[in-house]
């Protein structure tokens, strides 16, 4: 676990799921992430903020029918960190 590829910020279950959900897509709306994770707005916001703080995800705001929508995407840094983390998980599994 001491390997630098293992990312403790990503590894937390909810954050791992957020990154996994964002990874095959371009942008995902807040409500979709919330629905897929099955968590409350506040819990999701907390995890998103942690990922934003380290520069792994970014958000864009748009207005649809007067309602503000928040869209999230993985940054290049976040995508790279996520891919390395997945590689590391695979390595751990294959080392068994």
- Least Å distance, CB 47 to other proteins, is 13
List interacting residues with other proteins (CB under 8 A).
Answer: 1, 11, 13, 16-17, 20-29, 31-32, 36, 64, 71, 86, 89-90, 92-93, 95-96
What's the min distance (Å) between Cβ of 46 and other proteins?
Answer: 18
Give Cα separations from 66 to 8, 18, 35, 39 (angstroms): 38, 27, 22, 25
Q: Smallest distance, Å, CB 75 to other proteins? A: 13
Cα-Cα-Cα-Cα torsion 14, 26, 63, 65, nearest 10 degrees, comes to: -100
């Amino acid at each position: 676990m001491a390997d630098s590829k293992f990312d403790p910020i990503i590894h937390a279950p909810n954050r791992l799921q957020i990154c996994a959900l964002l990874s095959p897509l371009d942008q995902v709306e807040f409500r979709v992430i919330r629905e897929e994770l099955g968590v409350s707005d506040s819990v999701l916001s907390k995890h998103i903020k942690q990922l934003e703080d380290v520069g792994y995800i970014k958000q864009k705001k748009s207005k649809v029918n007067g309602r503000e929508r928040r869209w999230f995407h993985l940054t290049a840094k976040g995508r790279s960190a996520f891919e390395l983390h997945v590689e590391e998980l695979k390595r751990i599994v294959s080392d068994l």
